[in-house]
Amino acid sequence: MDAVIQFLQAGKQYQSHWALEPLTLSVAPGEFLSIVGSSGGGKTTLLKLINGLLLPSAGKVLVLGQDTTQVDLIALRRQIGYVIQGAALFPHLSIADNINYVPALSGTSLSQAQLARLMAMVDLPLELLERYPISLSGGQQQRVGIARALANNPPIMLMDEPFGAVDEITRTVLQDSIQQLHHQLQTTIIFVTHNIREALRLSDRVLIINHGQVQQLDTPAHIQQQPANEYVARLLR
């Protein structure tokens, strides 16, 4: 497969307002693509078009070669890991049951060895498996959220401001962890952030959008050397 995600002049419109203007985009297997822009700029709209929570008003979105308007969306979403700001763990479930939540939806359950592997991947001790989210730090909860997203071994992971609710030191540590996981697993990652420096550090390419319009799509090096316009230049200052 040449691309795991394709936008073919795809966009989302509400009445006369384009939340995301039609764009063409191909994301390669194993690519780390960050999406950067201000609040309300279209970043989360793009993620929701990928996982079928929104359907395009124009054009097509293909995910794993399937048109999102013509596919079983529940089956599609089970092939996509999702990590959001604040982890959104279920407080009444143990850490083990939180990680097992998505496999359980398919009628399966992770073995202790599989749980141990996931905990090792996100650098958490095994004894946390029997604890509950309230007893974990924010950084630990976010690591559990990443482990849960990886539980089905998805080919695609969507990350929506995943480190926005943690302090700067924890954020840097989590950035290192997600880089290591990406290199290890070669999962395709779509990473939404307000932080241009974070995007430049982590990504193979960065997509910068503002008010639903693409401002620049390029490698971190090219964006830093040749910002496409004043908006991109301001982000870099």
Nearest to 73 by CA among 60, 82, 63, 83: 63
Domains of the chain: 30-41+72-236 (3.40.50.300)
- Residue 165 pLDDT greater than 80, yes or no: no
* Measured distance CA(231)–CA(210) in Å, rounded: 8
* Measured distance CA(19)–CA(45) in Å, rounded: 7
Q: Which residues contact 152 (CB under 8 A, 6 or more apart)?
A: 78, 79, 81, 102, 103, 106
DSSP 8-state secondary structure symbol assigned to residue 29:
T
207, containing H or E segment: strand 205-210
- Residue 1 pLDDT greater than 70, yes or no: no
* Measured distance CA(80)–CA(149) in Å, rounded: 8
* pLDDT tens profile 33-59: 999 998 888 999 999 999 999 999 999
- Bridge partners for 12 per DSSP: 20
For 102, half-sphere exposure in the C-beta direction (CA atoms, 13 angstrom radius) is 24
Give just the sign of the alpha carbon dihedral 176, 206, 145, 63: negative
For 214, the token pair is 């693409």
pLDDT for residue 136: 92
- The contacts found for 177-181 with CB under 8 angstroms, 24 or more apart, are 177/122, 177/123, 177/143, 177/146, 178/146, 178/202, 181/121, 181/122, 181/146, 181/150
* Measured distance CA(52)–CA(148) in Å, rounded: 20
Query: pTM of the entire structure?
Result: 0.91
pLDDT for residue 84: 80
DSSP 8-state secondary structure symbol assigned to residue 136:
S
Average pLDDT of the segment spanning 179-201: 93
* Measured distance CA(190)–CA(84) in Å, rounded: 12
What does the mean pLDDT of the chain come to?
92
* Measured distance CA(1)–CA(30) in Å, rounded: 11
DSSP 8-state secondary structure symbol assigned to residue 133:
G
- Please report which confidence band the pLDDT of residue 171 belongs to, taking 50, 70 and 90 as the band edges: confident
DSSP 8-state secondary structure symbol assigned to residue 83:
E
For 130, the token pair is 């029997």
